[in-house]
Amino acid sequence: MMGEPVIIKICGIKTYDLLDAVIEAGADMVGFMHFQRSPRHVSIEDLAGLISAARGQVQSCVVLVNPDNSCVAEVAALGPDWIQLHGPETPHRVAAIRAEAGVEIMKALPIGSAEDVAHIAAFTEVADRILVDAKPPKHADRPGGLGERFDWSLLKALDPSVPFMLSGGLTPDNAAEAIAAVQPFGVDVSSGVETAPGVKNKKLIEAFIRNARAAG
């Protein structure tokens, strides 16, 4: 693993201005949320333009939560590089979506216990990449770590041959520490580069990427 640059994904981008900032700062991937309940939600119309603008400059990833087949088809037709599944999708469902979409699939898996880490193995064959995230609080109205980090030492139990991206509570201040401690294939940040829910900050994005690059 050492020597390979860490893949950096900035998630929850909604505007062209911020997309440009993320590209200029040198991110590898940009994530767009297509999920009504998220403060980072982007409509299908806006997604089409953002994916086009990203093409050839940075890999685009559309985040969906338990999507139905028509939603998958609609998003896949826009030609993103990745679709990220961030809901309670089963391995069987992930495999079906990958077959139908014809797009690389990233599966986000919430980690709160050793049991959750053991559950990752069921997805390694059906997804192109695994993203580990903090388990949402019990009464959360949407999935994702919601800015919380989890106990990274749980990941020591993971098969070292499984490349994964790390998410959940990452910030410019702990990016380097996270990369050193966990040695992930990549890191994914959303709320850690925001000043309010859904409000990204250019300086925080630049600091996150700079610190992650220095560590990687």
pLDDT 10s digits, 45-104: 999 999 999 999 999 999 999 999 999 999 999 999 999 999 999 999 999 999 999 999
11 is catalytic: yes
| Number of other residues whose CB lies within 10 A of the CB of residue 104 | 16
Identify residue 75 by its one-letter amino acid code.
V
**101 assigned to some structural domain:** yes
Residue 123 banded pLDDT, cuts 50, 70, 90:
very high
Query: What's residue 145's pLDDT?
Result: 45
Catalytic option among 11, 20, 81, 116: 11
**192 assigned to some structural domain:** yes
**211 assigned to some structural domain:** yes
Query: CATH code at 203?
Result: 3.20.20.70
Catalytic option among 20, 46, 128, 133: 133
User: Residue 198: left if φ>0, alpha if ψ -120 to 50, beta else—which one?
Assistant: left
| CA dihedral angle for residue 212, residue 213, residue 215, residue 216, rounded to 10 degrees | 110
Mean of pLDDT over the chain: 92
pLDDT (tens digit per residue) in 125-168: 999 999 999 887 666 555 544 567 899 999 999 988 999 999 99
**176 assigned to some structural domain:** yes
71 is catalytic: no
**1 assigned to some structural domain:** no
**2 assigned to some structural domain:** no
The domain of 48 spans: 7-215
**201 assigned to some structural domain:** yes
Q: SS in 3 state form for 105-166?
A: EEEEEEECCHHHHHHHHHHCCCCCEEEEEECCCCCCCCCCCCCCCCCHHHHHHCCCCCCEEE
Number of domains comprising the chain: 1
Query: What's residue 136's pLDDT?
Result: 72
User: What 8-state DSSP symbol labels residue 41?
Assistant: B
**114 assigned to some structural domain:** yes
Q: Quote the CA–CA distance of 156 and 144 in Å, as a whole number.
A: 21
